[in-house]
Amino acid sequence: MDSLVDTPTPRIAGTTAPALVVRSILAGIGGYLPERVVTNAELAERVDTSDAWIVERTGIRQRHIAGLHETCAFMAAMAARAALADAGAEPSDVDAIIVATATPDQAFPSTAVRVQAELGCKGFGFDLSAACSGFIYALSVADSLIRSGAARGVLVIGAEVYSRILDWTDRTTCVLFGDGAGAVFLRAGEGSGAASDRGVLSTHLHAQGTMGDMLYVDGAVGRHDRPGHVIMNGREVFRHAVTLLSETVAEALAANGLTQADIDWLVPHQANLRIIDGVGRKLGLPPERVVVTVDRHANTSAASIPLALAAAHEEGRFAPGQLVLMEALGGGLTWGSALVRL
């Protein structure tokens, strides 16, 4: 494969053109949602909750819950196929697959290689674990692979089956999550390196392991007594979310010499409408420029941002050249942001 980095600067009659750099172009977006929709009212038949409480505290009205055939790998492959079709790309254009997930079907092989087999791609693939920030982390790694010349086409997928790690008797967590998968296909392209160029402009990743007990799953492969359930101190997570997310959004803008006014779309992790509104308000963005799917999808963890991208794309809301800011925070704590020019 040709090197993609540091294309030599062309010299024209005494002038120096800006150096061309490799950019990760967001070439295609796709999503998959399980067939079964579970409303708040249905949940209220199983646990002591109500539609009114859930809507008021979270903005969630329904979630999709995976059937037995809708495994993490199945949904990831469906979303990936849709992203490739959207990009007009073939499986042979894929050099690498990264699946962000906290709910793989198996410890190994990775969900990514299951997707590779299903789609008939070559190259390499691996799963990445960063909870609800997983998609931002995966996008960042994929962008590095493309910029370094290690890959020209990367499928970045967020896929989750949280319904299998929820304690369905715990009303403080089970009402918050849903299942699904979203994917983007990144393709190497060249630009001058200015913020006006298309593609991933920058990504910013953070982690604070000392806050690991705020949101975690109390089981894993080594735990045979039970598979593990989501345990969360919701108030503490909420308290940190708006502050840390606003900080990482500010650093993304500063790194690119941009201001809030330059942002066309905020596509936040879809955990809770109050967190989304809080960050939007701090940014001074009107609600119509914030993509919200938490009402329909609930919190699908690593899948939530690509699913929100897919929904907005399907609705024809995006236009080439627009600036999209993404941010997420989740277990770890992990958090981060990504700025992408469509």
Q: Can you give the binding site for ligand ACO, defined by CB under 6 A?
A: 49, 53-54, 57-58, 132, 171-172, 175-176, 215, 232, 234-235, 237-238, 241, 269, 271-272, 299, 329-330
**Cα 307 to Cα 313: distance, rounded to the nearest angstrom:** 10
Name the residue nearer to ligand ACO (CB basis): 35 or 213: 213
Instruction: Give the residue with the Cβ less far from ligand ACO, 53 or 124.
Output: 53
DSSP H helical ranges for 199-292: 234-255, 273-283
Choosing from 174, 204, 299, 313, the catalytic residue is 299
Smallest gap from residue 130 Cβ to ligand ACO (A) = 12
The phi-psi region of residue 118 (left if phi > 0; otherwise alpha if psi is between -120 and 50; otherwise beta) is: alpha
The CA-CA-CA angle for residues 311, 117, 314, to 5°, reads 10
Identify the active-site residue in 72, 132, 204, 272: 132
Whether 92 and 65 have beta carbons less than 8 Å apart is answered as no
- Closest approach, Cβ 146 to ligand ACO, in A, equals 27
Q: Is the peptide bond before 309 cis (omega within 30 degrees of 0)?
A: no
Instruction: Evaluate whether 183 touches 37 at the Cβ level (below 8 Å).
Output: no
Residue sitting closest to ligand ACO (CB): 234
* Least distance from ligand ACO to the Cβ atom of residue 240, Å: 9
Cα distance between residue 255 and residue 285, in whole Å: 19
Nearest C-alpha neighbor of 80 from the set 159, 179, 173, 189: 159
| Catalytic entry in 269, 272, 297, 313 | 269
Nearer Cβ to ligand ACO (170/264): 170
CB of 30 to ligand ACO, least distance (A): 22
Is 299 annotated in the active site?
yes
83 and 21 in contact (C-beta within 8 Å)?
no
Contact (Cβ atoms closer than 8 angstroms) between residue 289 and residue 317: no
Q: Which is nearer to ligand ACO, 58 or 248 (CB)?
A: 58
CB of 151 to ligand ACO, least distance (A): 29
Closest to 174 (Cα-Cα) out of 68, 324, 336, 45 = 45
Q: What phi and psi values does residue 327 have, to the nearest 5 degrees? A: -150, 150
Active site residue 132: yes
**Closer by beta carbon to ligand ACO, 52 or else 194:** 52
Running DSSP on this structure, what letter comes out for residue 177? B
The verdict on whether 269 is a catalytic residue reads yes
Query: What amino acid is encoded at 183 in this protein?
Result: A
- Cα dihedral 73, 78, 83, 89, rounded to 10, equals 100
Q: Shortest approach of ligand ACO to residue 173 CB, angstroms?
A: 8
Decide whether 99 or 237 has the Cβ nearer to ligand ACO.
237
At residue 165's C-alpha, the angle toward residues 220 and 181, to 5°, is: 110
Positions annotated as catalytic residues are 132, 269, 299
